[in-house]
Amino acid sequence: MKTSEINIRDPFVLTDDGRYYLYGTRGATCWGPADGFDVYVSTDLENWEGPAVCFENRGDFWADRNYWAPEVHRWHGAYYMFASFKSEDRCRGTAILRSESPMGPFVPHSDKTVTPQDWECLDGTFYVSQRGEPYMVFCHEWVQAGDGEVRAVRLSEDLKKAVGEPRLLFRASQAPWTKWLTHSSGKRGCVTDGPFMWRGSRGELFCLWASFSETGYTQGLAVSDNGEIDGNFTQLPPLFDRDGGHGMVFQDLKGHLYLTLHAPNTHLCEHPVFIPLMEKDGRPRTMAHEKPAWLQDMNFEITPPRVPVIPSPVLTPEEMGYTGDGKATAYIQAAMDRLGETGGGTLLLAGGTYVSGTLVFRSHVRLKVEEGSCLTGSLDLQDYPEHHARRLTVQDTSMGMHQSLIFAEGCEDIELCGPGEISGRGTQEHFPGEETCQGTPGRPFVIRMIDCSGVKVHGITLRDSPCWMQNYLNCEDMCLEKVQVFSQVNYNNDGLDIDSCRRVWVHDCVIRSGDDGICFKGAGERDCEDVLVENCDILSSCNAVKIGTDTQGNFRRILVRNCSIGGVETDPSGLKHPWADSGISLEMMDGGEVDGICFRDLTIRRVWSPFFIRLENRGRVRPTDPAPGPGHLQHVLMENIRAEETGPRGSYFLGSPEQAAEHIYMKNISVTQLPSTKPVLRDEDIGRMKDVYPDAHMIDSMGDSPARVLWARHIHDLTLDGVRMDSTGEDRRPDFVCSRDVSMTVL
């Protein structure tokens, strides 16, 4: 299971023998009767096996409730679990259990609790002094002490009992941020929870602990003045103050530090959170201290598009005289025109296969292809007359794309739906041509819609376009729902192109494309904004999700979330390859501005480069327009993304010497990558590549990227927060290569 699916409190990670063992308080039985603890096992902190029971009360254990905060520590070759327990006739306290394996089974080791028998205590943790002496640090609870205490007591060498009296380390109220609470009994107090001892790289001894502040459950931090348990502890600013706590620190398998805690602090909603930890000026810090203000603006939601309203009349080509013989173009168009002239309605294709050339949509019309029926594109290019947009754009003047099977311009409230199919029959045999970025004459689109408002496409299967499958340019209030695209039979087989559109919702769609999967463009020279793509499966032989290359307009508030993206499994045409060039590709080449783009909760598979950013000054515009100069690319968030089966090329971000890309934040990114077997490029040997087409394969003829994880040029304020890379073989490249005007923070 995934980390986000695990419901535990008080997480504790033991790194042992190449694995992570995760323990915690069961969420479901936290506050009442309980009977055991579980362990989860992982090699990557994201995918976990389990839960497996590691301790179980089979009726012979003294405690029957409040099984809290299990921690497992290795001591003299065995594994010892410190955990809190309670029974009706006994105060809550910490007992110690023992096992020969981190998987358990753990069995009682101490004689009931090792905390004082008449104290209400919890959350004992194990600490070994620099002299090799074993201690337990625990909390004397606020429900009894009032001002909660953190104390330490010496343990016997065999960890069976306490030796001596507990020593006070500090009280909760000594931290200026703690909040006094009222218990259900009426007692006022200040909480102490979850102490954990951790030694910094300079020898400092820190105590992590939790309490409540004005912002909720909070992860606190104190430091000893002499580096030992008998020092005076000073309170430092909290490590995490956003309704999460009871943390501990561990090293991952590569030696990187992590803070883990549970969040949110809400019953049955808690789960482990892993936060990269760094030391700055001798103090541990997380992004709770460093997070830039602009990230708050990335929690935007998208305004839903307006739903088109289609009148009730239904008309068929057969009612217009179509008998099933020959091409149906004239009959379908006649039905479309009649509906348009009479206020709208549904044009129904329910008679099998309809061979057609270009169909021109009318306002307030729904074209429905019934199950078992198919609208099939003609193989005669003469059946696709050119339609030049009334408002000429870069696409019309520079790219020569004027033919399509379905064409709509200036329409209002139109709909295209299934459950039948539309097939362009666009193979190279039927529509030959070369792969190009300069126009595709002689290869029609299947769908081309311009300057339309209120567009819905849903429940239909689209197959085999001669060129782009769908192109929506300067449309508003558009919804694509449960659309399936299978188009891998020709060059330039984009699955979906959204150009200068506003208020767009794409959800629950499947795309298998020979070129870009979903591509956002600005050739319409209007803003492309308020776009939500979610719950989609997008696989491509080029770029799964892309902005560019035509970026004459601006891109704002685009959110792609909860999608599986990457490379196709097979290439039936033999024209391309089964893997994608990139998972996420931002290619700002023609002016315009990217400001506020979020990619969240994605899985990427079968890509040569998981991430690619290119900002350059190509300046393609209409012939009469002045060159725009380099555009702007800023405020991009990539969060909670797992990339598997990625190629050795690596990811790379290249800004322009005239204009750096700015404010890019990558958080919780995990990449599994093949090792490089090609020549590894040196940054100083690579030119500007200004005139090279900017897909991620632009360096393939030379070799692989200079860095395993990320190579960057001309990037300001780049943050890598929890970016993890695992190679499936030996790769000697450095993780990061930054040059030529790069400011980057790695956490």
Domain at 428, CATH number: 2.160.20.10
Domain assignment of residue 71, yes or no: yes
Q: Which residues sit opposite 644 in a β-bridge?
A: 605
Q: What is the mean pLDDT of residues 31-50?
A: 93
User: Which residue, 367, 383, 399, sits at the end of a domain?
Assistant: 383
The reply to whether 270 and 377 lie within a common domain is no
Whether 286 is in a domain gets the answer no
Helix or strand or coil: residue 143? helix
Q: In this structure, are 317 and 435 located in the same domain?
A: no
Q: How far is CA 387 from CA 285, 384, 452, in A?
A: 60, 9, 15
Lookup: tokens for 198? 């951790």
Say whether pLDDT at 40 is over 70. yes
Count of structural domains, the chain: 3
Pull the structure tokens for residue 306: 């307006």
Residue 488 lies in a domain: yes
User: Residue 180 above 90 pLDDT?
Assistant: yes
* In a shared domain, residues 449 and 492: yes
Determine, yes or no, domain membership for 244: yes
**What is the pTM (predicted TM-score) of this model?**
0.66
Is residue 405 domain-shared with residue 437, that is, in the same domain? yes
* Pair 187, 60 in one domain: yes
Do 347 and 457 fall into the same domain? Answer: no
Last residue of one domain, picked from the residues 383, 403, 429 = 383
User: Residue 287: its pLDDT value, please?
Assistant: 52
CA dihedral 580, 582, 588, 592 (to 10 degrees): 80
325, 395: one domain: no
Instruction: With a cut of 80, say whether residue 745 has pLDDT above it.
Output: no
Q: From CA 332, how far away is CA 424, in angstroms rounded? A: 16
The gap from C-alpha 664 to its chain's centroid, in whole angstroms, comes to 14
* Tokens encoding 640: 């909670």
Q: Establish if 289 belongs to a structural domain.
A: no
Q: Are 141 and 156 in a shared domain?
A: yes
Average pLDDT over residues 706-726: 86
The span from the CA of 660 to the CA of 651, in Å, is 17
The answer to which of 126-130, 274-278, 297-301 has the lowest mean pLDDT is 274-278
Kindly tell me if the per-residue pLDDT of 291 is higher than 70: no
Question: 472 to each of 58, 457, 506, how far by Cα in Å?
Answer: 64, 11, 12
Q: What is the rounded distance in angstroms from the CA atom of residue 276 to the CA atom of residue 717?
A: 18
Average pLDDT, the chain: 93
Indicate whether 409 and 445 sit together in one domain: yes
In this structure, of 280-289, 368-377, 502-511, 555-564, the range with the lowest mean pLDDT score is: 280-289
The percentage of residues in the chain with a pLDDT greater than 70, rounded to a whole number, is 99
Are 174 and 202 in the same domain? Answer: yes
Residue 457 has pLDDT above 60, yes or no: yes
State residue 567's pLDDT score.
95
Position 288 in a domain: no
**More confidently predicted of 461 and 185:** 461
Is 592's pLDDT higher than 90? yes
CA distance linking residue 86 with residue 519, whole number of Å: 59
- How many residues belong to the chain? 747
- How many Cβ atoms sit within 10 Å of the Cβ of residue 23? 26
List the CATH number of the domain containing 120.
2.115.10.20
pLDDT greater than 80 at residue 51: yes
Pair (377, 398) in one structural domain:
no
Mean pLDDT throughout 231-260?
A: 91
Mean pLDDT on 657-680? 91
Tell me if 298 is assigned to some domain.
no
pLDDT score of 352 more than 80: yes
Maximum C-alpha span of the chain: 101
Q: Tokens 């019953």 label which residue? A: 267
Q: Is residue 300 part of a domain?
A: no
Whether 104 shows a pLDDT value over 70: the answer reads yes
* 733 contact partners, CB below 8 Å, separation of at least 6: 650, 676, 680, 704, 705, 706, 707, 708
From 383, 405, 424, the end of a domain falls on 383
| Residue 747 confidence (pLDDT) | 56
Domain extent, residue 411, equals 384-746
* Contact (CB, 8 A) for 240 and 258: no
What is the model's pLDDT at position 289? Answer: 47
Is the backbone peptide bond immediately before 549 cis, with ω within 30 degrees of 0?
yes
Q: Looking at the structure, do residues 249 and 104 belong to the same domain, yes or no?
A: yes
